[in-house]
Every structure is written in structure tokens, then in C-alpha cells.
Copies of this chain bind each other. A is one copy, B any other.
Amino acid sequence: MNKQTVTIYDVAREAEVSMATVSRVVNGNTNVKPSTREKVMKVIEKLDYRPNAVARGLASRRTTTVGVIIPDITNLYFSSFALGIDDIAAMYDYSIIMANADQGREEKVVTDILSRQVDGLVYLGHTMTDKIRHEVERTRTPIVLAGMIDPEGKMPSVHIDYESAVAEAVSRLFDQGIEDVAFISAPEYQVDDELGRFNGYKKALASHNKDLDSALCLTAENSRYRAAEEVGQELIDSKAQAAMIIGDELAAGVSNYVQDKGLKVPEDISIVSSNNSIITEIVRPQLTTIAPPLYDIGAVAMRILTKLMGDKSVEEEVIENKNILPYKIIVRDSTK
């Protein structure tokens, strides 16, 4: 297991300087005479020396590593966030420890990642439990939520106003004369989150003087394509002539299902999706959808995190607690 062999000390000896000087050279400290800097650089080259980031992390108490908690990498919704996070992180020379936090493993995952002394955390989960909150606060690790908002309003977050987005999309259906619009999603989206999707649905109902009809709130097992069958049938059996569906895979699945059953989209049933991933363009008819700037949400979250982690140059900057990015609604062929 002898991996790294050449240390800063070896370089110092070979270059006939102290390790402090080598350290200065490596870290770009200006207080080094150009000639010695060059001498050290040559030895570094010759010995093929690479700084040990672990030792560096221990000594400096900064690991230049951020943790990313993600519920499902294979879900385009989340991986688009991740790409934005990764790009900005790379730009600032941070590495990313990424952990897939499926089905309630979030707490273990967070604890573990914190023990690795990450400088910051981007959290893409659905729920923020008290335990997680406590862990994060205990270690005083900066955290930014992406794609959700802290119910307690303490943690900074980046999100879009899904409430307005859904309200707008659903209202548009009502305004077309559609009487009954179903709301279809996995269980985790059928709650009263701040700026949440379900709230938007209820808001649209209210503004059109309609009551919430639980028969029109359809719950899919999860947000994946295959979960659409059961809920698709429920949609057909309902009186709805349109559906607001959370999750592109689910929406595509429902659209395909109802068409396989002989219905026409949008003539018989209009469908609106929520994330504008490439799936909404692949499926036919192409889906009208809310278009959140997923990549940007990730990128902005990471950018805020770098500030929180104290790139001292920006210490004076004001950091908003809730960063709400603009969304669009893209009308395609799945609605009239």
C-alpha cells in the first residue's frame, strides 16, 4: 500500500531549501525569491512531486471538497442539477463527493460525508429531517439546498417558484374551458411544501372557484416511467380532461398509456409536465411543460456555496436566503 512516496520534505532536501519554502512555492505564495522558486519548481518537476491533499486538508482544515447529496443519479431532473454543480465546482477547484441517498438513507449519508470534512454541502433531497439539520449545524458546515426550500427558512436555497409555475400551467388549462384537471405525482410531491407544486395546483383551483377533489389527486408509486400504468388507468377512469403531472418520465408514461388505450392527446386528455428534460421532446406528442433552469439551479447553488465557504474576496457580499430563479412554460402539442 505504499502509494505516494515523494513528499514535500524530499523536495526540500533536494532543492536545498526548507519545506516551508517548498510549501510556499506550491501554494503560490509571493514571498519567494524568483530564483529559488524556479529552483524548487525544477526539483518538483524532476521528482514528480504531487501534494497530498489529505495531509493538506488536515493541516489547513480545508479539504476543497464539497459533498453533494442526490436522491437519484439516474433521474434526469437531479443529474441536471448535478452537472451545474460540478461545472462550477470544477471552476473553483473543488472536488465533489457525491452520494446517492435513496429511500431514507439521507441521514447516514450526510453523517458520513461530514466526517470526511467537506468544506460545504449541496443538498438535493426532498426532506430535511431534524437529525440532518442537527448534524450540519453541529459541524458548522455551510449548506445550500437546491430544488427545495428549507421549511424553517434557516438554510439558503435555490429553487424555482413551482407554486406559481404549476398554478400558471393549470390555470391555462382551466382558461381553455377544461373543467377538471388532475394532479399526478409521486407521494413526495403531494405535500404542502413552500413554493410547492401541490400548492400551485390548489392555488389554480381556488382562483377558478373550484374545490379540491381528492378523486383528481392521483398518486404514483414513484416518478419513473413504469409507475405510469396504474395511475394512467386511474386518470382514464376519472372525469378529468387534463392532467398536471410532476416528473417527465411519469408524464411521458401517462401520455403513452392513455394513447395506447385509444385516447387522444390533447383532444381527449391534455397533459402538462414539469421539468422540460429531453424526454418531453422525445415523446409524442411533445409535452407542454414547465421549464425550470435545472442546470442553473445547480450552478447557482454551488456558486453561493463557494461564497459561504469563504472565498474571502467576497466576504462582504450579501447572500440571499431564498434564491428563486425564473421559469418558463413551454407550450407544445400535448395541450390545446
Q: Residues of A at under 8 Å CB distance from B?
A: 1-4, 48, 50-55, 57-58, 61-63, 65, 72-74, 76, 79-80, 82-83, 86-87, 90, 93, 95-100, 105, 111-117, 138-141, 224-225, 249, 252-253, 256, 278-279, 281-284, 310
Q: What 9 pairs between A and B have smallest CB-CB spacing?
A: A98-B98, A53-B116, A86-B100, A53-B115, A74-B79, A54-B117, A54-B57, A73-B79, A225-B278
CB atoms of B95 and A116 under 8 A apart: yes
Contacts of A279 in B (CB 8 A): 279, 282
CB atoms of A65 and B310 under 8 A apart: no
Q: What number of copies of this chain does the assembly contain?
A: 2
Q: Which listed residue (B58, B111, B282) contacts A252, Cβ 8 A? A: B282
Question: In the assembled complex, how far is the CB of residue A53 from the closest CB belonging to chain B, in whole angstroms?
Answer: 4
CB atoms of B74 and A281 under 8 A apart: no
Contacts of A76 in B (CB 8 A): 74, 76
Q: Which listed residue (B53, B98, B111, B282) contacts A283, Cβ 8 A? A: B282
CB atoms of A225 and B83 under 8 A apart: no
Residue from the set A53, A224, A252 with the largest chain B CB neighbour count within 10 Å: A53
CB atoms of B225 and A282 under 8 A apart: yes
Question: In the assembled complex, how far is the CB of residue A90 from the closest CB belonging to chain B, in whole angstroms?
Answer: 8
CB-CB under 8 A for A50 and B114, given A97-B97, A140-B3: yes
